[in-house]
Amino acid sequence: MSLAQLLSHLRALPEMVLLAGACALMLVDLASKSETRRLSYLFAQGVLLIAFCATLFVLSESEGKRYYIFYGLFVSDLLSHVLKLFAFITVSAVLVYARPYLHERGLLKGEFLTLLLFALLGILVMISANSFLSLYLGLELLTLCLYALVALNRDSAASTEAAMKYFVLGALASGLLLYGMSMIYGATGSLLFTDIGPQTAALAASSSSMRTLLVFGLVFVVAGIAFKLGAVPFHMWIPDVYHGASTAVTLVIGTAPKLAAFAMALRLLVNGLPALAVDWQQMLVVLAVLSMALGNLAAIAQSNLKRMLAYSTISHMGFMLLGLLSGVVGGNRLNAVDAYGAAMFYTAVYVLMSLGAFGVLLLASRQGAECERLEDMKGMNRRDPWLAFLMLLMMFSLAGIPPMAGFYAKFAVISAVVQAGQLWLAVAAVAFSLVGAFYYLRVVKLMYFDDPAGVAVPAGGGSARWLLSVNGLALLALGLLPQGLMALCQAAIRSL
Amino acid sequence: MLAEYFPILLFILVGLAIGVAPMLLGRLLGPNRPDPEKLSPYECGFEAFEDARMKFDVRYYLVAILFILFDLEIAFLFPWAVALNDIGMAGFLAMMLFLGILVVGFAYEWAKGALEWE
Amino acid sequence: MKTLYLLVPLAPLAGAILAGLFGRALGRAGAHTVTILGVLVSFLASCWIFADVLEGNTFNGTVYTWLTSGGVTLEIGFLIDRLSALMMVVVTFVSLMVHVYTIGYMAEDPGYQRFFSYISLFTFSMLMLVMANNFLQLFFGWEAVGLVSYLLIGFWYTRPTAIHANLKAFLVNRVGDFGFILGIALVLAYFGSLDYAQVFAEAPALAAPVTLICLALFVGAMGKSAQFPLHVWLPDSMEGPTPISALIHAATMVTAGIFMVARMAPLYELSATARSVVLVIGGITALFMGLVALTQYDIKRVVAYSTLSQLGYMTVALGASAYSAAIFHLMTHAFFKAVLFLGAGSVIIALHHEQDMRRMGGLKAAMPVTYWTFLLGAISSAGIPGFAGFFSKDAIIEAARHATIPGAGFAYLCVLACVFVTAAYTFRMVFMAFHGAPRYDAHRPPHESPAVVTVPLVLLAIPSVLAGWLVGRFLPVDSAWDFVVHGLVSLPFWLALAGIAAAAILYRRPSSLPKRIAMRLGPLYAVVERKYGFDELYAWLFGAGARVLGTGLWKAGDQTFIDGLMVNGSARVVGWFSGIVRLAQTGILNTYAFLMLFGILAGVTWVIWRFWS
């Protein structure tokens, strides 16, 4: 192998940096004895920063072109760079939010940081996957880390139970996904999406039985994606895991992995199986409508905030699917950039909102006084007006109220759906958003109009508070000036 | 092509039906009047002596897990050693990388005390 | 240059944000320093831009694309030409003067920082409106100035009258805005674009209902510029602090409608019908609102009705296609009306918030600076040749005389008669307030206002005398001097003199003559004094009518249908369903796995079903 070939692998520099950093972190943490894990924490943030810069370097060096390395297993395009940058920012924010919470509960172990970085590595691999193999590898790396993270608080029965459920269901889902992949591999004889794309088109056109085999495999692949996204009926793990895991871990699960799931859906369906768009779009319609309906309706009945946000995740992922399913209209990909761009925008904004909402919960929680039931939000405005205002921003954004970013995200998706001619879907989406607005606004009502219940605990401060403010105001700013992010998302989709 | 599998599907369905039907019939037709005594577990006619879930020493489990990890390494190393001539420098480097990661894991578990029996 | 354009609206915005959000931290002095600095920067930049535009450098471009939806791009952009550059200078100059004046006027008010924040915000909104290059931004500025004016009229929110006045202003403006937004919607529907340049370019060729669009837009202008019959909110808006009356309800905001129609000139030129309507409405407003001013005693109300009347002039000019004359009058009016308002304000503070002219008189000696500036403003307003008001007003009258569209004759008669009326009520004010014997409370004698009040007065008085000599750029005559000479021998001048003379006879000395005339005119006078009964009519027609309608809808529609059936009914259904869904989340793993497999089974069944059929 020549030097040039060797150097070409540097397009995976962010992954390499992260792998080396995570390994080093494991050793660094062994040396650290302090309770606050200051050294390990700073080291982890440093690794994230370097990896971020490495991504920027690769991005600037690629000059907008697409490259395949590792024999086509790994693709490096604008989409992957943008999503990776999002992922780095998200995980870095997760670290900032989670640190004081974990420290107070004695859960701030080196393992949390290491597992988080390895999970991120899994996310990166999924984002850049161009083959069933690398996709599956990344997926397993991510989920295995997440199982362990959920069980991190091993003395808590709820956590271990949640981890067990997550593990069993996750294993089942990954089995389903593998089964679907094997079917498609059997039909096309290739693992690379770049080969599968044209292959499936030819096969599907040649014979109807071949097409049926492919669609049969597709059902399982879509099931795997739906599990990762948490779309109904593959959503059952979400409420239990969100609820059972400690809030810091819920924050991890609820944010960056959504980017990976989005990338997975995009790579598998749009990159790999565009010829079957008609089929998977129909499946996604069912998933999307069920998710929006069930997510929003079930959230109303919840008394636990984390559970409520879990159902809200389900409904939001359903909404995001609306964008994914309106890209191809009658074999015409004219709407693709708008629709997938809207879905990507939605995912990015959702991750931001989710970060903020769980961040507020983390900040408002104190040792012995978890903030996770609805009643805990009562009178928040009187205890901590700024935190209450930030939560209000998050809730408004989640509910899709202008001028928050959540509104524009919903608007973009709905307009893509309308352009695709699926008017009834758009109507359903709006109707379910309306139902959803109820439980978000209930939180606002509790914060502002109810008397505080129980003892007033001062909320935490420090860097987490600053970052949370930036997070909330960023949502406002993105709602007012969405065009920059939207243009970025659309450019990323064009590179697909 | 898929049509050839139709008999198998039929077979599965018939098998399912035969399996499910008796249970369903029993459920529907049989009287069902449970009381606490009927539902309580029993052991050869006696009250249960102990919990069916037994405790075992977690150290066995730990060692087993660690063994599997390092055992798998051999499964990778052996074919690599055989084919080293063909895969050249790139193969060598890749394996060193793999071993390096493994060493990190090994150092971690050693330092954590996972290898100490007592 | 683009940065400079951006600086113009953003500097006051920054001031408003600083004073509004950090007012407590900044303190009083800090708040007025930042806002005045912001407006000053804006004013200087505007002057620079104006000079640049006079050299022929115009600009029309997009600054930021807000969003793209269905082929329509919504953008923030600037259109800088003579019209907008002139407006920018006027707006920022008047605003700057008002900012300075406010330091003195509001010195004792607890809402000091809030007030500065509002007026800076207003300046920002007005600049956005003026500089817009598309309808959306125009609408943004339009609504933003409306909002700030609402906040400012109700600035003293503990006064019930202020709250009523701002509610009234808000509601009446809603009517106008409804027409305005309809107009914009029509533009969007027929042109598929909101960009001025594109719309104007396509308008002549396209079979769009231009007349309808123009009329709808003009309804908006009627609301904002207080044209008959949507004028009722303006006199009441005097409940706000005087600087506001000067800034918003005389010099800038109310001229937004005039500006808008001038901006839309290419559209209006396509529809003679629309221009006829504009002409007639303007004429009615000019004459009849001027008559009301003759009967009022509250000094601020007199100025307010005079504003209405002057806005009528501008509207007439628009209808007569003399857009530059309208904008010219807008500018001169901004100056002399600001002088009159701020002068009135100065009198009001000197007399400890006394606004009734029957309790003034003889202030000439006590307040010389206020008197002389007020007098200059009054002369300019009356249209005596050589003063600013004369040039613009005469230009309008000439334009009305030469207009040929239907309604021009009526409008010409109105504006001509109004010259007399204008001179009469302006000088009635001068004589009642400053001449004759003092009628104020002798125990609390008035003093001349402090420098922060008088300096803006003087600075505003200068352009209200001299601004007319800019005339060469706007009028079809060769030199300003010829125009003055011509003015001396024409009818309007003599009418104005007659008006002044009439005011002098009636109000120079205390006499019973005005009362006798009022008695003789009887019901006619009463009708004018009651402002033609519009307030009562609206209260009866819309107030009571709406209440009846509202009660009906509330009982039948809201309580039974919407609350009972839709809201509570659907909430019940949703609640019931969510209870069911919750049951499915049993916490038992088997159920979860089963459901997943069920999903797969459904998918596979679907595939097989499709395969067979």
- Does B44 contact A at CB distance below 8 Å? no
Q: Which of C67, C577, C603 sits opposite A283 (nearest CB)?
A: C603
Lowest mean pLDDT among A253-257, C72-76, C150-154, C297-301: C72-76
Q: What is the pLDDT of residues A217-236, one digit of tens each?
A: 999 999 999 999 999 889 88
Q: Is B108 on the interface with A (CB under 8 A)?
A: yes
Tell me the pLDDT tens digit for each residue of C296-309. Answer: 888 888 888 888 88
Residues of chain C with Cβ-Cβ distance to A168 below 8 Å are 589, 593
Share of chain C above pLDDT 70, in %: 84
Is residue A238 within 8 Å of residue A230, measured between CB atoms? Answer: yes
- The single-letter DSSP state of residue A245 is S
Domain-located, residue B21 = no
For residues C350 and C532, the model is more confident at: C350
pLDDT tens profile A109-150? 888 999 999 999 999 999 999 999 999 999 999 999 999 999
Least confident of A63-77, A117-131, C237-251: C237-251
Is A257 in contact with A123 (CB distance < 8 Å)?
yes
Contacting residues of A for B115, CB less than 8 Å apart: none
The SS3 of residue A339 is helix
Length of chain A: 496
Backbone region of residue A306 per phi and psi (left: phi > 0; alpha: psi in -120 to 50; beta: other values): alpha
pLDDT value at residue A291: 93
Instruction: List the structure tokens of C484.
Output: 């003055």
- Give the closest-approach CA distance of A30 to chain B in angstroms: 7
pLDDT single digits (tens) B38-52: 777 766 766 666 777
CB A306 within 8 A of CB A451: no
Chain A nearest C-alpha distance from B2 (Å): 7
Among residues A315, A316, A319, A317, which one has the least CA distance to residue A293? A315
C229 preceded by a cis bond (ω within 30 of 0): yes
Q: Is beta strand C59-69 parallel, antiparallel or unpaired with respect to C72-80?
A: antiparallel
A 13-72 residues with CB < 8 A to C: none
Q: Report the residue of chain C nearest A243, measured CA to CA.
A: C587
The pLDDT score that the predictor gives to residue C558 is 65
Phi, psi of C80 (to 5 degrees): -110, 110
The answer as to whether B15 is a domain residue is no
Structural domain count, chain A: 1
For A415, the token pair is 């307009």
Is residue C74 within a helix (H) or strand (E), and if so which, with residue range?
Answer: strand C72-80
Residues C239-246, mean pLDDT to the nearest whole number: 73
Q: How far apart are CA B10 and CA A91, in angstroms?
A: 50
Strand partners, C62: C77
In a domain, B63, yes or no: yes
Among candidates A1, A19, A213 on the partner chain, residue whose Cβ is nearest the Cβ of B2: A213
Residue B43 located in a structural domain? no
Mutate to test the interface with A, among B2, B98, B102 (most CBs of A within 10 A): B2
**Residue B105 structural domain:** 56-118
Reported confidence tier of residue C482, pLDDT bands at 50, 70, 90: low
State which amino acid sits at residue A251: L
pLDDT in tens, A357-373: 999 988 888 766 777 88
- As averages over each run of 10 residues, the pLDDT of chain B (118 residues) reads 81 92 88 81 69 76 82 87 88 89 87 79
Nearest chain A Cα distance for residue C258, angstroms: 30
Please report whether residue B101 resides in a domain: yes
Interchain contact, B108 vs A213, CB within 8 Å:
no
Q: What is the pLDDT averaged over residues A245-256?
A: 93
| Cα gap B95→B85, rounded to integer Å | 13
User: Does residue A90 surpass a pLDDT of 60?
Assistant: yes
Closest Cα in chain C, distance from residue A281 (Å): 13
**In DSSP terms, which residues pair with C269 in a beta bridge?**
none
The reply to whether B74 falls in a domain is yes
Q: How many CB atoms lie within 10 A of CB A329?
A: 17
Q: What whole-number distance in Å separates Cα of residue C523 and Cα of residue C519?
A: 9
Interchain contact A163–C (C-beta under 8 A): no
> Any CB–CB contact under 8 A between A26 and chain B?
yes
Q: In chain B, which residues have their Cβ closer than 8 Å to the Cβ of A213?
A: 1-2
Q: Is the reported ipTM for this assembly greater than 0.90?
A: no
Band (C554; pLDDT cuts 50, 70, 90) = low
Q: What span, in angstroms and rounded, lies between the C-alpha atoms of A413 and C385?
A: 64
Token pair 């008559």 in the structure block, residue: C291
Burial environment of residue C465 by CB neighbours within 10 A (0 to 12, 13 to 18, 19 or more): buried
Cα(C306)–Cα(C289) distance, integer angstroms = 7
Interface size A-C, in CB pairs within 8 Å, comes to 89
Q: Is B46 part of a structural domain of the chain?
A: no
DSSP state of C355: -
Of the listed ranges A54-63, A249-258, A414-423, C353-362, the one predicted with least confidence: C353-362
Provide the domain count of chain B.
Answer: 1
- In angstroms, the separation between the Cα of residue C47 and the nearest Cα of chain A is 30
Cβ pair A172:C595 closer than 8 A:
no
Nearest CA to C165 among C248, C228, C103? C248
Q: Read off the amino acid at residue A489.
A: C
Measured CA to CA, the distance from residue A271 to residue A198 in angstroms comes to 10
A309-334 pLDDT per residue, tens? 999 999 999 999 999 999 888 778 88
Classify residue B7: in a domain, yes or no.
Answer: no
Question: Are residues A26 and B108, on separate chains, in Cβ contact within 8 Å?
Answer: yes
Q: Of A271, A333, A253, A236, which Cα lies nearest the Cα of A80?
A: A271
pLDDT digits (tens, 9 = 90+) for C469-478: 665 555 555 5
Concatenating the DSSP letter of every residue in A68-90 gives: EETTTTEEE-HHHHHHHHHHHHH
Q: Rounded to an integer, what distance in angstroms lies between the CA atom of residue C316 and that of residue C396?
A: 7
Residue C474's pLDDT is what? Answer: 52
**Contact between C294 and C528 (Cβ < 8 Å):** yes
Closest CA to C262 of C194, C336, C331, C190: C331
Contact partners for chain C, using 3 or more CB pairs closer than 8 A, are: A
Structure-model confidence comparison of residues C590 and A310, the more confident one: A310
Spell out the alpha helix ranges (H) of C132-264.
135-153, 160-191, 196-202, 210-224, 233-236, 242-246, 255-263
Residue C150 contacts residue C170 (beta carbons within 8 Å):
yes
Per-residue confidence band for A94, with pLDDT thresholds at 50, 70 and 90: very high
Give me the sign of the Cα torsion angle C54, C60, C66, C69.
positive
Domain that includes residue A158, residue range? 3-494
